[in-house]
Structure 1
């Protein structure tokens, strides 16, 4: 039995999509906050457990009879790190044989500006200290976030971000979910760390060029100053916490944190991951 937490979120949905194609639904379980959102999974034969990372009793119930648990990292809440610890503790108590975790592919955790990312490596350390056999998936920034960074009117306004010439080895979330599912089904639980990235890294100049080619419009990238960018976000009414987190992501990109390329996603997929040109066409409906 494989239990997927956060099963109705974007990544959880992608993982289960592949799992349902490649194994019997009777082997699959899902931990969800809202059972109504999991109606489709239930209809396909997946066992549904209602609960959350704060409810230790629900975690322990969900893990009974489970061999592998995929802990999909929580959101931006302050209590997310403790929630991760709760899942690890419940898995150990239930005698789970393999704990997998969705972490982040970043060059140097010790020099991150975006402190939100630090909890991934704290969670990794907690898992490693637990004594549980584990698999860690260090995932690069999703290509799917590009429209959020560039804004809905990017074809008219171009791209102005404080990311300098920083590069990102973007990969599609759906392909990361597929690769994670492949490892859960066929890979050994041998305390391995996978680095899942695209086959190439791209700057925002490359993103602008891809948008230009796909749309036929002249899209440019102009690096912005962080203070100016922050002021513009504040003027639009973006909450201060969201402003700082966005700046953190972009500054880390500028500093090369997301630039490293690994062949492991391609190896697990058995094909080259979707590149920027095709990804942009899909994500921007071009």
Structure 2
């Protein structure tokens, strides 16, 4: 197996991918990128090489890429010039002689017609930049995490009801855990050069269905209200949420209403070797019902 470096390994998706990989991938050939030795301590304690660097520091990235054959670039969670951060990583990989790059993007029906283009269009810019780099690539286009549903509808949804402006738009949610399993399988195997995989749940769901599942699981009537974007935004402001969180929530709701994430693809099921976790099962666990 090749020398593999995983960026974003201290994040939620990255750490789960590393955990999955350690069951099959030789630890001696596995490295992770962390901002400091302290942040990488849980990995170094397992014998995984920790390379110190950040997306904003090109020289640290170039040093971290030395001796690396394959790079898994997990997209930055910092929206401040995210495309610039990704370009730093790609440029360093090319300069250091990395042969193959895998990138975690997003499955979206049509970015050009999406309300989310200002927020996540950089995923597709990154893919294009990778293609232009001449490196062989694998694009891992993830559906929206089921894990974000509680963030959008709240911890007290059984009392308040579902209040979210997604209309009847549907989303093929996938759990972060299932995505991590699939990505680990892809990373640890061959034959994925210059391919794009759409990793989605097996069924698309509306927020009407989410409310119905919660009603069924809890034994309570959980209504769904789809307010206007303006009313939703004002409600979030009333909660005192930070402006970036409000903007992100409003835009994602608009994207869901636009059916940007309704695509269902069988690749996730194929790679994990079983049906992906259903949204109903996820909600049951998330809300301890």
**Which interval holds the TM-score relative to the shorter structure?**
over 0.9
Instruction: Kindly report which structure 2 residues correspond to 1:64-143, keeping only aligned pairs within 5 A, or say none.
Output: 64-114=66-116, 115-143=118-146
Q: How much has 1:57 moved relative to structure 2?
A: 1.6
Q: Deviations over 1:55-77 (max 9, x none)?
A: 11211111111111000101243
Q: How much has 1:216 moved relative to structure 2?
A: 2.0
- Tell me the residue number matched to 1:247: 250
Q: Deviations over 1:71-92 (max 9, x none)?
A: 0101243221101001000110
Q: Residues of 2 paired with 1:189 and 1:171: CA distance?
A: 21
- Tell me the residue number matched to 1:266: 269
- Tell me the residue number matched to 1:202: 205
- Tell me the residue number matched to 2:49: 47
Which SS does the other structure have where 1:13 is aligned? helix
- Tell me the residue number matched to 2:40: 38
Q: Residues of 2 paired with 1:22 and 1:281: CA distance?
A: 31
Q: Deviations over 1:229-278 (max 9, x none)?
A: 11111122223332222111000100000111000100111111000111
Q: Residues of 2 paired with 1:138 and 1:165: CA distance?
A: 23
Say which of 196, 215, 225 aligns to 2:218. Answer: 215
Residue-pair matches, total = 286
Which SS does the other structure have where 1:35 is aligned? coil
Confirm whether residue 186 of structure 1 aligns to residue 189 of structure 2.
yes
Q: Residues of 2 paired with 1:181 and 1:104: CA distance?
A: 17
TM-score normalised to structure 2 length: 0.96
Q: Residues of 1 paired with 2:180 and 2:72: CA distance?
A: 11
Give the unaligned 5+ runs of structure 1.
none
- Tell me the residue number matched to 2:30: 28
Give the unaligned 5+ runs of structure 2.
none
Q: Residues of 1 paired with 2:37 and 2:227: CA distance?
A: 44
Q: Residues of 2 paired with 1:96 and 1:203: CA distance?
A: 42
Higher alpha-carbon deviation: 243-252 or 31-40: 31-40
Q: How much has 1:149 moved relative to structure 2?
A: 0.6
Say if 1:109 and 1:118, in contact at 8 Å, map to a contact too. yes
Q: Alignment RMSD, CA only?
A: 1.1
Confirm whether residue 275 of structure 1 aligns to residue 281 of structure 2.
no
